[in-house]
Amino acid sequence: MVMRNTFVRLGLLLVLMLVLTGTVFAAGANEAEASQEEDVKYGDLRLGLVDQDGDLVADAPENEADWVDPQVLVFAYTPVEDPEVYRDVWSEFLDHLSAETGKEVQFFPVQSNAAQLEAMRAGRLHVAGFNTGSNPLAVNAAGFIPFAMMAGEDGSFGYEMEIITHVDSDITQVEDLEGRTLAFTSPTSNSGFKAPSALLKGEFDMIADEDFNTTFSGAHDASILGVANKDYEAASIANSVLARMIERGLVDESELRTIYKSQTFPTTGYGYVYNLKPELADSIRQAFFSFDWEGTQLLAEFGQNGESQFIPITYKNHWAVIRTIDEANGVSYDVN
């Protein structure tokens, strides 16, 4: 699969979202104006999270007594598929993370995006990979600090949202979804819900549960298998997940038809909870960027998508397109 950087098409999506909402977003101007004030809170950070430098993520607590320095670091990978599949995939990296931090590291097989978010909010999860669509909610409601993303050898990254049907289906174009049922994954998923909702409305004037029916499968692999087994008429999925399932032989590519493919989006964001002791946070960053992928299970798994390293990212820049989609969909990051 050819990996592409999403930002070359960011301007086009922004125009689309402006048409969707009929509103001109003045976020940049507002941030510039707010940056001249002191003690300003940015974004939609929940009570207790403060962002005074305008990077849209929570600052570390000023009081050292509020820093967290756990004996055991807990890591969770986004529950895109059966989480137990990834225990072994991440084992070599977690050994490296343990060596870099001097901490025991435990893999936490979360079953849902909601469970992963709540675990971080409750202080039971310290390092994680949140899926594309969950990053804004994790940042604003749980104090997640994303700083890394998987990328190809040349630094390119991303995946696309695809709407798929069974090859035997009479659904051959997006317009054929009218009156039919489209399977989403979960409300927090970008490619599994938020992006298709916004893009179908903007490009085809098709509104969920008005022009077509919806259901939720709970996960991308469930949606893909559901279409392959003809349990779902169509589904919106992340094609990075589809590529891995085809590679494992879990689904036959010839059984599926793609009727829509989006622009490229950022992938899973990796980071830590905001209130970790700064020295520990620094060592976690170092672990990601010093990990040698060569010959590892991580490379065997994600190399199928052309990914072979972690690159540094910022939530403010790399997730701008996702925040725009959220605003177009009227998404709130307040879960209090």
Give the domain ranges of the chain: 28-154+267-329, 159-264
Which whole-number Å values give the CA distances from 71 to 61, 62, 103, 107, in the listed order?
19, 22, 6, 14
Domains 28-154+267-329 and 159-264 fall in the same CATH topology: yes
What's the pLDDT at 33? 35
pLDDT digits over 272-312, tens only?
999 999 999 999 999 999 999 999 999 999 998 899 999 99
Q: Is the domain defined by 159-264 classed in CATH 1.10.150.120?
A: no
Q: How confident is the model at residue 223 (pLDDT cuts 50, 70, 90)?
A: very high
The values of phi and psi at residue 27, to 5°, are -60, -45
pLDDT digits over 227-270, tens only?
999 999 999 999 989 998 998 899 999 999 999 999 889 999 99
d(CA 7, CA 238): 18
- For domain 28-154+267-329, give the CATH number: 3.40.190.10
Q: Quick count: other Cβ atoms within 10 Å of Cβ 32? A: 11
What's the pLDDT at 331? 82
Q: Quick count: other Cβ atoms within 10 Å of Cβ 232? A: 23
What's the pLDDT at 44? 65
What's the pLDDT at 46? 77
* Interacting residues of 186 by C-beta distance below 8 A, sequence separation 6+: 112, 113, 192, 193, 216, 218, 219
